[in-house]
Amino acid sequence: MRSLSEIETAVKRASRAVGYSWGNSEEIGKSIRQLELFGFQGIKNLNKYYKDKSTKKFEDLNIINEINETSSDAYCPIILGISFLDQIKSVENFKTIKFKKIAYPVIFLSFLSRASEISGNKIHVRLDQNEILLNLNVNICSNFLDQDIPEFANEIEIKFIDNKDSFTESEWNSLYKLAEDTFVEESDSLKEGAAGAGLTDND
């Protein structure tokens, strides 16, 4: 089995060989490594994309708006992904970001996953009928259980999810009450003598 480090280096060099700048190639290497770590077919899709690049026309989107439509075959998932990473501080202010036609969207997902970590927010992605949750670059959840992510997505919608607790205040209080059972009630002598103790409640 190939190590993640081997994958990153080989992807970086291959990407340079097909014409990306060294800096962009480094980004691609890092992202495909992350995809493989999460169990997605990064190498397989990148190979196919690089073969398709020689025959099809993909648009490089450098500035991301709320609604993005291409007149070419599809957006290049790599330049789109890098632009998204770079512009994360501005695009995270958009309520929803929509794209029409992205080639090999799984490659784009790898950049979105990293963007989720930089932003500090989970990202929800809808790829046509399928849904994906990118969780701070820790994992990727999707309903693609028994199927590969398609090589082309027609409608893509991205939303940043506000950070909020997954539980109610009463559920938290209930659990915290149990946790309090590990505390010791301080006697007067403990208040005076225990390490870190003080004579007033503010100490």
Partner 1 sequence: MMEPYNHIIEPLVSNMSSDEDKYFNIPTNRTVNELKKIIEKKYPNILDINFDQKESQQNFWFISKNKEEPRLADRFEEHGSELEQPLAIARDIKKLYEKLFLEKENLTIAQFLSSNSEFRHVIRRAFIVEKFPYSEIQDNTIGKDIIPIDMLRLKLSFFGALKFDPRSDKWLRICMFQGAPLPTELKNYDEQWVYKTNN
Residue of 83, 113, 116, 119 interacting with partner 1 (CB under 8 A): 83
* Touching partner 1, residues 109-168 (CB under 8 A): 114, 118
199: Cα within 13 Å, side-chain hemisphere: 0
Q: Does 62 bind partner 1 (CB under 8 A)?
A: yes
Residues in the chain: 203
Should residue 101 be labelled a site residue for partner 1 when binding is judged by CB under 8 A?
Answer: no
Give the residue, chosen from 27, 32, 97, 112, that forms a contact with partner 1 under the rule CB under 8 A.
27
Task: Give the helix/strand (H/E) hosting 9.
Answer: helix 4-17
Number of Cβ within 10 Å of residue 10's Cβ equals 14
| 30 is a site residue for partner 1 (CB under 8 A) | yes
Cα separation, 18 vs 7, in Å, equals 16
CB 109 within 8 A of CB 125: yes
Contacting partner 1 (CB under 8 A), which of 43, 48, 73, 86? 86
Give 21 or 47: the residue with its C-beta nearer to partner 1. 21
Cα gap 25→199, rounded to integer Å: 62
Q: Is residue 22 at the binding interface for partner 1, with CB under 8 A as the rule?
A: yes
Q: Looking at the DSSP assignment, which residues form a beta bridge with residue 134?
A: 123, 140
Q: Is 24 in the site for partner 1 (CB under 8 A)?
A: yes
Q: Is 2 in the site for partner 1 (CB under 8 A)?
A: no
Binding region for partner 1 (CB under 8 A): 13, 21-24, 26-27, 30, 62-63, 82-83, 85-90, 114, 118
